[in-house]
Chains A and B, each alone.
Chain A
């Protein structure tokens, strides 16, 4: 069974930068996994931030950026704002089915 692993939690100061990663148990994550990133705040459905590794949705602030880093998918939050405190999930494509990551709780403190 494929497992996609993310950091359980990260803390960042307002105005700071933090990078979340997304690793696959099958090996290095490449663009062919079409990594997507989602943000979820308590009591709300998720919203899509990034698709196909690095493409922002029209509503995604420019401070969110996606990339590949050291064999993993990565989501970097720059100039972090208090409203960025949320759970973040990655999603990878496996030639048909998809698998979500375990999620990262980002705390802005």
Chain B
């Protein structure tokens, strides 16, 4: 069955960096576009980024553009989100999503001094 397991979250100070990973299994990872979506506590969903199946195309939401980088390793079936210059408002649960059809369980990132 399809599984998406996020990891790499935790507590980080403002201005620092963090790298999230999403391990995919149960499907042919290299044939699907992948997204990151986030949700602040008690708030709505915010689309973060997308990467095409081969990694050649990437797009970002306005609030993370220039600070976050999405990437993937198709040989290792893993999706990444490199988050730099983190801000307090980046404190959210980050979801890995397969082509907008299947969602991971989410990973909490807390940015706090």
Chain A interface residue count, CB cutoff 8 Å, equals: 21
Interface SS majority for chain A: strand
Contact present for B44 and A45 (CB under 8 Å): no
**B34-77 interface bits toward A, Cβ cutoff 8 Å, 1 = contact, 0 = none:** 01010000001111001000000101111000000000000000
Contact present for B103 and A97 (CB under 8 Å): no
List residues of A (78-109) whose CB comes within 8 Å of B's CBs: 87, 89, 91, 96-103
Contact present for B47 and A97 (CB under 8 Å): yes
CB neighbours (8 Å) of A47 from chain B are 103
List residues of B (63-113) whose CB comes within 8 Å of A's CBs: 95, 100-106
Interface SS majority for chain B: strand
Measured CB to CB, the closest approach of chain B to A17, in angstroms, equals 24
Contact present for A102 and B62 (CB under 8 Å): no
In whole angstroms, what is the CA distance A71 to B23 when docked?
Answer: 39
Contact present for B59 and A97 (CB under 8 Å): yes
CB neighbours (8 Å) of B62 from chain A are 1, 97
CB neighbours (8 Å) of B45 from chain A are 38, 40, 46, 89, 91, 100, 103
CB neighbours (8 Å) of B50 from chain A are 97-98
Contact present for A100 and B47 (CB under 8 Å): yes
In whole angstroms, what is the CA distance A99 to B51 when docked?
Answer: 15
CB neighbours (8 Å) of A100 from chain B are 37, 44-47
Check if A33 is an interface residue, CB within 8 A of chain B.
Answer: no
Contact present for A46 and B103 (CB under 8 Å): yes
In whole angstroms, what is the CA distance A101 to B100 when docked?
Answer: 15
Which residues of A are at the interface with B, using a C-beta cutoff of 8 A? 1, 36, 38, 40, 45-48, 51, 57, 87, 89, 91, 96-103
Taking A38-B45, A91-B45 as given, write out 15 further A-B residue pairs in contact, using a Cβ cutoff of 8 Å, ordered by the A residue number.
Answer: A1-B62, A36-B100, A46-B37, A47-B103, A51-B100, A89-B44, A96-B59, A98-B47, A98-B61, A99-B47, A100-B44, A100-B45, A101-B44, A102-B44, A103-B45
